[in-house]
Amino acid sequence: MAPAQGQFSDHSDGVESKDHAEGPPVPPAFLAAVDALRSARLRPELEVEVTRPPQRLAPHAYAMEAAVVDGEDDLADGRLVLLHDPAGHDAWQGAFRLVTLVRAELEPEMAADPLLPEVCWSWLTGALDARGLSYGEAGGTVTRAGSHYFGALSTRRPATQIEIRASWTPRESRGGVPDTASHLMAWGDLLCQIAGLPPSDPTDAAVVTLPQRRGPQVS
C-alpha cells in the first residue's frame, strides 16, 4: 500500500458509476467529494490505496482500503466506501453515505471485557464528534470472534478479532458536498485507535486506547 499522505495509487481512480458508459457524466458534487478524499492528510502510520468499489449499492461509489502498519505488522485494517445518489435516499436522509468495515486483533483479556462492543462503537462516533463533523443516521454492528488452534497449529496463541461494520450520512455543505476529507481523517483516527496507537494529540486524556499488540507470533 502507498503511504496515506495525500497520495493514492495510480492504477485506478476508484470511481464507479453505473451510468458512466451510457448515461450522464458523473455529478460534480461526487467528483468534488472524491477529490477531497484524495487530498486528505492522514497519520503516517496509515497506508491506504484506492480499490474497486462495490456494485449496485448506489449510482456512484468510491472505495479505499487502509492498514495501520508498525514495521512489518498490520495492527488493524479497514475499508471505507463513499456512496452517492443524486436523487437522494430515504434511508440515508441525504445524497451521500459512508460505509466502513474496520478490523483488529485484540489481546484475549481485552476481548473478554463485556463493555467492549459499546466502547468500540463510541470510538467511531467519538472520532466524528472530535473533529466537529455533522452526520446522521449512523448505524452498525460490533462483532468479536475468538479463534483457538489445535493439532499442527496448536503452537499459535488464541486470537480474538474485533470487527466494526458501520455507515453514516455526512451532512452536506451549502454547495451540496460533504467534508469528506475530515470524515476520512476521523476514520483514520478510528483505525489507529482500534490498533492500540496513542492519539495524535497526546494531551487528549479523554481518548481510551487499547494496549499495544504483542510482537509477531511464531506459527
The secondary element (H helix, E strand) that includes residue 33 is helix 28-39
Encode pLDDT of 183-197 as tens digits: 999 999 999 999 988
- Residue by residue, DSSP assigns 42-69 as --TTEEEEEEPPPSSSSSEEEEEEEEEE
How many Cβ atoms from other residues are within 10 Å of residue 102's Cβ? 27
| pTM confidence score | 0.80
Classify burial at 98, counting beta carbons within 10 Å of its beta carbon; exposed 0-12, middle 13-18, buried 19 or more: buried
Collapsing DSSP to helix, strand or coil, 31 comes out as helix
Encode pLDDT of 56-73 as tens digits: 899 999 999 999 988 877
| Rounded percentage of the chain residues whose pLDDT exceeds 90 | 50
Encode pLDDT of 10-60 as tens digits: 333 455 555 444 545 889 999 999 999 998 989 889 999 999 998 889 999
C-alpha cell belonging to residue 210: 487499547
Bridge partners (DSSP) listed for residue 146: 160
How far apart, in whole angstroms, are the C-alpha atoms of residue 61 and residue 79?
Answer: 13
